Structure 1
């Protein structure tokens, strides 16, 4: 397995080709070598591609073993994983219904009353809420030891804490070389090179 790791990595870097199975194997190799931040990164990529409770529980157990932050283990997280698992399928179904409904309304525009148009508008609004509220968020893992978290997007800002390799943060925006992340319920900033985005 360890001998196959360079081949998996080469295929990922050259072609951008990857499968969940390859990512899980790469994570396993990295964990066996004691490189837990890399193992968490590959597990997180696999989780982003194919959300599963089993993968998340492995991520959480590895993070707890190394006392890392940003890995919630709650019923809300399990519910979110279930929603993310079916997010794109449900979105596809909602969009197909929107196209069919819109087409029918256009075909019967002379006979359709305002109630049907209002219902259709409410349905489109519901799709917009679904897209904005339930879309998988961007997360990043700290890639370097002793990465500083700052109160603002500059080196002169107030220092908040030092993040450990493998700590996980929800990314909310970017300003120059700084990423805005959530830390203990507030905004914090970390330099872009210090964070590996899970994409």
Structure 2
């Protein structure tokens, strides 16, 4: 085996081994956290859960529900709502909507009204990858049909070409816009909303934590949101975006 190929082989083995070790560590940590949770050691278990979510980007619906349970028990309703919302994004389980609406109603929080359209969009987001595979396969199939028709010179593939153009347009929109979820939850009490992305801008409002808002854009350390029908800006450390 040439030296270059051998080095490449070693690199592949190293990367694969690192990924496998990381996955095993994450699984071991999750089991440890679940064990602590079962023993009612909620604070200790939450630290591990939070590390898995924020550092390793690992989460399961069950883990998110446990995190929400712990935060609700600690009266941190904004974080409880945050984890419930993440759970909903993973599962589109309508039952959790009632829980979020109940928490929001009990604490005078806004932004948790749901519609059938939003539920449909959540389903669409959940099956995003399957739709991507389907559109890719359909586009390749149409390419094949057009190529075959051109080789046979039997007919001009006008109808197939129009259909392919339509599929590609849908595919472009799907790839660029379908996976965006532009919501966030305010997680700091007495958060300042400004009318511009600056500490010297005019104050719009001072709001409590827990409100869910529509996220419009991000500018440096400021997040542009929609608040009561108007635009406002909030510091990024005061809001947890949902994705």
TM-score (norm 2): 0.72
Structure 1 counterpart SS, 2:103: helix
Residue of structure 2 in register with 1:195 after alignment: 239
More divergent stretch after superposition (114-123 vs 73-82): 73-82
Q: Give the ranges of 4+ consecutive aligned residues of structure 1 lying more than 6 Å apart after TM superposition.
A: none
Residue of structure 2 in register with 1:100 after alignment: 141
Match of 1:63 among 95, 101, 104: 104
Matches within 5 A, 1:51-130: 51-110=92-151, 111=153, 112-130=156-174
User: Is the contact between residue 184 and residue 212 of structure 2 (CA under 8 Å) also seen in structure 1?
Assistant: yes
Matched, 1:181 2:225: yes
Larger helix share, 1 or 2: 2
User: Is the contact between residue 143 and residue 165 of structure 1 (CA under 8 Å) also seen in structure 2?
Assistant: yes
Cα 1:128–1:69 shift into 2, 3 Å: same
Instruction: Give 1:127 shift.
Output: 2.6
Matched, 1:41 2:85: no
Instruction: Give 1:13 shift.
Output: 4.4
More divergent stretch after superposition (74-83 vs 173-182): 74-83
Matched, 1:6 2:6: no
Structure number with the bigger relative contact order (C-alpha 8 A, sep ≥ 6) is: 1
Distance 2:126 2:216 in 1: 22
User: Is the contact between residue 138 and residue 198 of structure 1 (CA under 8 Å) also seen in structure 2?
Assistant: yes
User: Is the contact between residue 51 and residue 84 of structure 1 (CA under 8 Å) also seen in structure 2?
Assistant: no
Distance 2:72 2:181 in 1: 25
- 1:11-35 CA-to-partner distances (Å, cap 9, x unmatched) read 3345332211111111112112222
Distance 1:91 1:57 in 2: 31
- 1:97-120 CA-to-partner distances (Å, cap 9, x unmatched) read 122222332344444423321221
Which sections of structure 2, spanning at least 5 residues, go unmatched? 1-36
User: Is the contact between residue 89 and residue 126 of structure 2 (CA under 8 Å) also seen in structure 1?
Assistant: no
Matched, 1:15 2:56: yes
User: Is the contact between residue 187 and residue 210 of structure 2 (CA under 8 Å) also seen in structure 1?
Assistant: yes
User: Is the contact between residue 142 and residue 160 of structure 2 (CA under 8 Å) also seen in structure 1?
Assistant: no
Instruction: Give 1:36 shift.
Output: 0.9
TM-score (norm 1): 0.86
Match of 1:157 among 201, 204, 223: 201
Which sections of structure 1, spanning at least 5 residues, go unmatched? none
